[in-house]
Amino acid sequence: MNQMVNGEWTAEPFQPRLRDGAYARPDSQFRDTVTADGRGGFAAEAGRYHLYVSLACPWAHRTLIVRRLKGLEEAVSVSVVHPYMGERGWQFDPTFPGSTVDHVNGVDYLYDVYRLARPDYSGIITVPVLWDRERRTIVNNESSEIIRMLNAEFGGCGAHGPDLYPQPLRAEIDALNERVYADVNNGVYRAGFATRQASYARAVTALFATLDELEQRLAGSRYLLGAQPTEADWRLFTTLVRFDAVYYGHFKCNLKRLVDYPNLWAYTRDLYQQPGIAATVDLAQIKHHYYASHPRLNPSGIVPLGPGLDFLAAHGRG
C-alpha cells in the first residue's frame, strides 16, 4: 500500500507500525462530526453528504449497512471504487460490476479526493470517506464514527428504523466493540499481515478464543445483546460474512471455518437475511480485492472460485 506525502502520491510504500512482526493499524485523520443541529459546521441535510466506499472493505461495509437500515439511500449518495487496489490505491473504474465513477468530484483515484480536502495531506488513503458537498471537504474517514452519525443525526432527513446504539445498552455495546475490534475485526488483519510466526500465532489464538466465546454467547441469545441487532452485531457481521471466503485461507485464520460454528454461522445467515442487507454483500468484489491486491500473500493473483456459501439457508434463530 502506497501513500501520499505533502499532497503528492508517492511510490514510497506505507510501512505499518510493526513491532515484533505485529501489524498495527494507523489512526484515521479526518474526525469531524455531522450533527442534527449543525454545531461545528456540518449540519445533517439530505443531499449534502456523499460516501466513498469499497464493497470489499469491511469498514466501509458498516456504513452501507447503517445507511440501508436507517433508510438513508436517497439522503446520502454513494460512489464505489474498483475492488483492485493497485500501485495508485483505490480507483474509480466502473468496469467491475458494482463499481462506479466518482459521482461528485469526477476524479479517477480516491487520493484526489483526499487532496481536494487537504492539499498537503500525508498518509494512507482509506475507505470509507464521508464527503461534504457544500464545504467540499472530507468530514470523516473513521467508520465507527460515521455509523454513529448515520444512526443518530439524520432524523430530520428521513432516517427511520431501529436505534442501533440505544442509551441503556451503550456501555455493553462499547465493551463488546472493543473486544471484537481488537481480536476479530482487526485480529484477522493482525494474523494476515504478521511477518513473524509468534505475532501470527498470538493473533490467531486471540481471534479463535474470542470466536469461541461469541459462539457460547449466541447459544443463549439471538443477537449479541438480546432480541434486536445493535451496532455491535453489524460491526461483527462484516468480518464474519468474509471469513470463510477470505480470512480462513488468505489470512491463514484456519483453525476453524465459520461454518464449523453452529451458532455463529446461523447468526451470520440471520443478519444476512435482514431486509436490505444481502444487497450490501458482494463476494465477487470481496474476493477480487483481497486475492488480487496482496501480491505478498498471493503472488499469482488467482481468485478462488469457492467456497460455496449458502447465506440464504434457514437459520432457525427466530
Give the total residue count for the chain.
318
Per annotation, catalytic residue among 23, 52, 57, 248: 57
Per annotation, catalytic residue among 189, 223, 248, 290: 189
DSSP state of 222: S
Give the separation between CA 72 and CA 121, rounded to whole angstroms.
30
Strand partners for 19 = 22
Is 20 buried (19+), middle (13-18) or exposed (0-12) by CB count in 10 A?
Answer: exposed
DSSP 3-state assignment of 313? coil
Give the separation between CA 233 and CA 248, rounded to whole angstroms.
20
**229 contacts 52 by C-beta, under 8 angstroms:** no
Q: What is the DSSP secondary-structure string of 150-196?
A: HHHS-GGGT--S--SS-GGGHHHHHHHHHHHIIIIITHHHHHHT--S
Q: At what angle do helices 58-69 and 143-152 cross, to 10 degrees?
A: 0
- Determine whether 253 is an active site residue: no
Cis peptide bond prior to 166, omega within 30° of 0: no
- Determine whether 189 is an active site residue: yes
- Kindly list the catalytic residues: 57, 189
